[in-house]
Amino acid sequence: MTSAAAPRWLDETERDAWLNITRLLLLLPTALDRQLRDDAGLPHAYYMILAILSDQPGRAMRMAELARVTGTTPSRLSHAVASLEQRGWVERQACPTDKRGQIAQLTETGMASLAAAAPGHVAEVRRLIFDHLTPDDVVQLGTITGKLLTGLDA
């Protein structure tokens, strides 16, 4: 017997995996944030914005697209980018192909700050994640997370 109001419940293996995932969703950003704030004065969400821009052609990206890939709302992204602009790390420009659109571009100073923060961040990522996994685990984790991103249309 199934109905729209009664989904198939999680079995024990699914429930265990799901509890672990939710705990990681809560704990991992907090742990990453702590190191970056302490060592680079930068919350993890800001680091991600700089890192994403640094990977783009011209180190620039449309704000709407940046909001989409970071899973944030336009207003929260605006706030973050304004704060990065105040530090001189990012500049906003009008979009040449869309008058209502804006482009965020990483500055040289922003690139230098990202490069300065990266070694400490990578060491922390290794300490928190990869030091605990075998090479096989890493391959499987990449495959499984790839499937999940497909499910999120990401």
Instruction: Return residues touching a copy of itself (CB under 8 A).
Output: 5-10, 13-14, 16-18, 20-31, 45, 48, 69-72, 119, 122-123, 125-133, 135, 137-152, 154
Q: Tell me how far, at minimum, the Cβ of 88 lies from a copy of itself, in Å.
A: 24
Selection from 43, 48, 37, 58 nearest residue 107 by Cα: 58
Q: Rank residues 23 and 93 by Cβ distance to a copy of itself and give the closer one.
A: 23
- Say which DSSP state 3 is in: B
- Closest to a copy of itself by CB, 94 or 148: 148
> Nearest Cα to 142, choosing from 129, 124, 128, 123?
129
Environment class of 118 (CB within 10 Å of its CB; exposed 0-12, middle 13-18, buried 19+):
middle
Nearer to a copy of itself, 23 or 79 (CB): 23
Is 4 or 96 the residue whose CB approaches a copy of itself more closely? 4
- Burial label for 53, CB within 10 Å (0-12, 13-18, 19+), is buried
- Output the smallest distance, CB 99 to a copy of itself, in A: 28
Least gap, CB of 97 to a copy of itself (angstroms): 26
